[in-house]
């Protein structure tokens, strides 16, 4: 039987793998949706506006903010947590909240956390 730690680490790795879409591929998908269907992926644009605007002004650059969180979580859990994992775990938290009560804010935040994961991975 797997320990809670190994299950958690495996789950985080699986989420990271599933969310690994390059910036260029993401932009191409957005442009294709706009061109083919006239869809404006508003949660993506709102998230980008927040991450690169007010949230950065309030909390600082994602590298600095998520480094502090990673250090705290690593100390608490006794295992190393990367900046990218901080983002992925917050995405999972938003998924859990959305499973209980589906809200647009959850989708916006998931997009924002994905953008932050992209930033801290650069």
The position carrying tokens 């999972």 is 92
Residue 9 in domain: no
Q: What is the pTM of this model?
A: 0.64
51, with CB counted inside 10 A (0-12, 13-18, 19+), is buried
Residue 91 in domain: yes
Mean pLDDT of 10-27: 57
- Spell out the residues 6+ positions from residue 103 whose beta carbon is closer than 8 angstroms to its own: 97
Higher-confidence residue of 11 and 32: namely 32
Joined together, the tokens standing for residue 84 give 């990218």
Residue 38 in domain: yes
Do you know the residue count of the chain? 122
Residue 3 in domain: no
| Range(s) of the domain holding residue 33 | 22-121
CA dihedral 74, 120, 98, 75 (to 10 degrees): 10
Confidence of residue 91 (pLDDT cuts 50, 70, 90): very high
């Amino acid at each position: 039987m797997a320990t809670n730690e190994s299950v958690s680490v495996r789950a985080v790795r699986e989420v990271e793998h599933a969310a690994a879409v390059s910036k260029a591929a993401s932009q191409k998908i957005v442009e294709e949706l706009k061109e083919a269907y006239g869809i404006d992926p508003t949660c993506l644009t709102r998230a980008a506006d927040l991450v690169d605007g007010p949230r950065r002004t309030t909390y600082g650059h994602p590298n600095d903010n998520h480094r502090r969180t990673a250090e705290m979580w690593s100390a608490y859990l006794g295992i190393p947590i990367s900046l990218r994992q901080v983002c992925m775990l917050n995405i999972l938290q938003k998924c859990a909240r959305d499973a209980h009560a589906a809200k647009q804010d959850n989708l916006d935040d998931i997009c924002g956390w994905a953008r932050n994961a992209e930033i801290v991975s650069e």
